Amino acid sequence: MLRHVTDMDVNSYAYHHPTPWDAKFEPASLPDMLARTTARNPQAPFLHFLGRTYDYAAIHEEAKRFAAGLIAHGIEPGDRVGLFLPNVPIYASAYYGAMLAGAIVVNFSPLYTVDELAWQVADSGTRLLVTVDVPELYGTAAQVLDQSDLETLVVGSLAEMLPWYKKLALKTLGRSKVANVGWKDDIRAFSAMLANPAHAEFPAIDVENGIALLQYTGGTTGRPKGAMLGHSQLSMNAQQVAGLNPFGTLEEEVFMGALPFFHVFANTALLNHAMVTGASIAMVPRFDAGQVLDTIQKYKTTGFPGVPTMFQALLDHPKMAKTDVTSIKVCISGGAPMPAPLHNKFEEVTGVRVVEGYGLTESSGVVSANPYTGVRKKGAIGQLVMGTEVIFLDKEDPTKLAAEGEPGELAVHGPQIMRGYWNRPETDADTFVTRDGKRYLRTGDVAVMDEDGFLEIVDRIKDMIAVGGFKVFPSQVEDVLLENEAVKEVLVIGQPHDYLGECPYAYVVLQPDAEASAEELKAWLNKRVGKHERVEKVILRDDLPKTMIGKLDRKALRAEVCC
């Protein structure tokens, strides 16, 4: 069992990714990389959206015009520009355009409530917010504009992004789906922001030290924190991800864009990855299994980054059996561990290889992945991406390394690691650890690495349940319960116990038509786990809470059921 992997000993195992671990990537600004990709082939498709295709030249031109509009509106370098958008084409234009103007992009989930959005706008100091004229989104954003220090709301037209026939149908038959925007000085149309010439003079971008993106973390406790990601971190991670692809001509790839762009996984593995290589994205506004299957078949998508619940939803959809998915070379699963039964069934039904990867908001998205071809290990999160090093810290004392062969807290060093948290310098001591002059990000994930250099996450330190002095890893109990054919989804959390302090409770969603009782599942499970891991209770539910990207949300469940 390996204890750590640094540049001194990365050659202690066979590296199976197609790009060498010590490959050198160029740190660059994202707008510069977009300009280079566009110059190579301006008419190459970039975004496919509900039947309309945008080439690189169109998105680049719109980004430049939006940047000019921001500057004309008084946005200065370092100002924060927020994106409160689903997966729509203006996301890309606004994202790269704001950075071109020298602004810092702030991503906001389209599912935020007024209070959640207002708090994050205030914490980030966002001056201008971009949204779209969908009633739910516009309504929330307009309330925040009235109740906060937000200065300007920019509203894009969904109809204008559609093919002409869908635009006509939306304007004539779908009026209830379009917000009645109250235009005034502080509510401007996205199209109006594009009125300025694209050849405006743009400020110089500090690639090494400037901040490009504030990406807020969900966290396990307390308020979200904004991870400060620079152009160098984002562009390097996009190149690291591109370096995983062994399939040849990267610009011919067509990625399935079902993950929401506002999330760090999609931001790197979809948007920036495609942009850096010249690939295209067949995007959907939000995940809908039927629409995703239609999109895969229409655009012959070749790669599909997703989360486990997406792949389960595809298997459950009646269109799955009739959809041709043979164009897909690989599916990349992240965001949460993929249950072994789902992994096996998806590959059996589709014939498509699924590889698991791992990353964090604080790492710009990706730390490790299983190879797309050849050697891979199910249940593992793969080998490190190029230029990335890890050490394993003692779970009780992070100033020390874990004992040889023992699980430890995974700590990561690499060119993709964030600068720190926005306006929270006091958190650095708990977030980073320095060894041998290198700054490592503490992930909070307990991991091991085998002799072949494959990482496996055992659990999260903050999720561990203290049972009478013993540490119980919820994911290990969940993995056992998922071996029962009646179980579709499960989350295990700790509940207060008078004698033991805490004890595990399992919250279970059954497979369709399964008839197992809670007591039967409890008895089945407790025969197969250690005494301290036995659950006090199994609770059957119709569903479990999920995050915006569809992964099971332990934090939300804990908030719902715990005292």
Please give, one letter per residue, the 3-state secondary structure of 402-436. CCCCCCEEEEEECCCCCCEECCCHHHHHHHEEEEC
Tens digits of residue pLDDT in 44-64: 999 999 999 999 999 999 999
CA dihedral sign of residues 300, 320, 271, 327? negative
The lowest-confidence range among 209-223, 330-344, 532-546 is 209-223
Domain 56-206 architecture = 3-Layer(aba) Sandwich (3.40)
CB 464, CB 472: distance < 8 Å: yes
Confidence of residue 243 (pLDDT cuts 50, 70, 90): very high
Amino acid 4: pLDDT: 59
Q: What are phi and psi of 71, to 5 degrees?
A: -65, -45
Fold (topology level) of 464-561: GMP Synthetase; Chain A, domain 3 (3.30.300)
The lowest-confidence range among 53-57, 76-80, 342-346 is 342-346
Give yes or no for residue 410 having a pLDDT over 80. yes
Amino acid 311: pLDDT: 94
More confidently predicted of 254 and 177: 254
Tens digits of residue pLDDT in 111-143: 888 988 999 999 999 999 999 999 999 999 999
The lowest-confidence range among 2-6, 385-389, 462-466, 540-544 is 2-6
CB 165, CB 121: distance < 8 Å: no
Confidence of residue 30 (pLDDT cuts 50, 70, 90): very high
Average pLDDT over residues 66-85: 97
CA 535 to chain centre: 31
Average pLDDT over residues 278-301: 96
Give yes or no for residue 466 having a pLDDT over 80. no
Amino acid 2: pLDDT: 47
CA 363 to chain centre: 11
Rounded alpha-carbon distances, angstroms, from residue 18 to 85, 206, 239, 333: 35, 31, 13, 19
Tens digits of residue pLDDT in 469-499: 667 878 889 989 999 999 999 999 998 887 6
Confidence of residue 448 (pLDDT cuts 50, 70, 90): very high
Residue 74: other Cβ atoms inside 10 A: 11
Name, in order, each residue with C-beta under 8 angstroms of 273's C-beta and a sequence gap of 6 or more: 238, 241, 242, 255, 279
Rounded alpha-carbon distances, angstroms, from residue 325 to 53, 58, 292, 345, 355: 21, 29, 11, 15, 16
Domain locations in the chain as residue ranges: 56-206, 464-561
Stretch (H or E) spanning 259: none
Give yes or no for residue 500 having a pLDDT over 90. no
The separation between the first and the last C-alpha atoms of the chain, rounded to the nearest angstrom, is 40
Amino acid letter, 69: G
More confidently predicted of 3 and 147: 147
| 334 burial via Cβ count (<10 Å: 0-12, 13-18, 19+) | buried
How many Cα atoms within 13 Å fall on the side-chain side of residue 381?
24
Amino acid letter, 285: P
What is the secondary structure of 85-146 as a DSSP string? --S-HHHHHHHHHHHHTTPEEEE--TT--HHHHHHHHHHHTEEEEEEES-HHHHHHHHHHHH
Amino acid 540: pLDDT: 96
Q: What are phi and psi of 521, to 5 degrees?
A: -65, -40
Amino acid 114: pLDDT: 92
Tens digits of residue pLDDT in 512-528: 989 999 999 999 999 98
Give yes or no for residue 193 having a pLDDT over 70. yes
User: Which tokens is 502 given?
Assistant: 């805490």
Give yes or no for residue 289 having a pLDDT over 90. yes
Stretch (H or E) spanning 38: helix 30-40
Amino acid 197: pLDDT: 80
Amino acid 172: pLDDT: 59
Give yes or no for residue 7 having a pLDDT over 60. no
Name, in order, each residue with C-beta under 8 angstroms of 438's C-beta and a sequence gap of 6 or more: 6, 389, 413
Which residues partner with 155 through β-bridges?
131, 189
Nearest to 415 by CA among 357, 365, 358: 365
Return mean pLDDT, the chain. Answer: 91
Stretch (H or E) spanning 276: helix 273-277
What is the secondary structure of 141-191 as a DSSP string? HHHHHHHSS--EEEEE-TGGGS-HHHHHHHHHH-GGGS-----BTTEEEHH
Sheet holding 45-49, edge to edge: 52-55, 45-49, 280-283, 254-257, 303-306, 330-333, 354-358, 368-369, 383-384
Confidence of residue 1 (pLDDT cuts 50, 70, 90): very low
Confidence of residue 220 (pLDDT cuts 50, 70, 90): very low
Amino acid 169: pLDDT: 66
CB 294, CB 284: distance < 8 Å: no
Amino acid 462: pLDDT: 76
Buried b (16+ CB within 10 A) or exposed e, 415-446: bbbbbbbbeeeeeeeebbbeeeeeebbbbbbb
Name, in order, each residue with C-beta under 8 angstroms of 542's C-beta and a sequence gap of 6 or more: 509
Average pLDDT over residues 341-370: 95
Amino acid 111: pLDDT: 86
Helical pair 231-242 and 30-40, crossing angle rounded to 10 deg: 40
